[in-house]
Amino acid sequence: MMAVFAFMTGVICILMGLLAEMITRTFHESQNKAIYMVRDTRNLDGKTSAD
C-alpha cells in the first residue's frame, strides 16, 4: 500500500517537474528575457544580447 503510494508520488512529482520546466521556458521566452543581467561590457559598445 505504502509502496504503491510512494511510487505514484514519485511519478507525479517528476511529471510536475517536467511541467515546471515548460513553465519556466514559457516565462522566459514569452518576454524574451535573458537568464543573466549584464553590468558592463568592454569593446562591445552599443551591442546588446539581442543583436
C-alpha cell, 42: 568592454
Binding to other proteins, residues 10-29 (CB under 8 A): 11, 14-15, 17-19, 21-22, 24-25, 28-29
C-alpha cell, 38: 549584464
Cα separation, 24 vs 6, in Å, equals 27
6 is a contact residue toward other proteins (CB under 8 A)? no
Give the nearer residue to other proteins in terms of CB position, either 3 or 43.
43
User: Burial, 7: exposed, middle or buried (Cβ in 10 Å; 0-12, 13-18, 19+)?
Assistant: exposed
Residues making contact with other proteins (CB under 8 A)? 8, 11, 14-15, 17-19, 21-22, 24-25, 28-29, 34-44, 47, 49-51
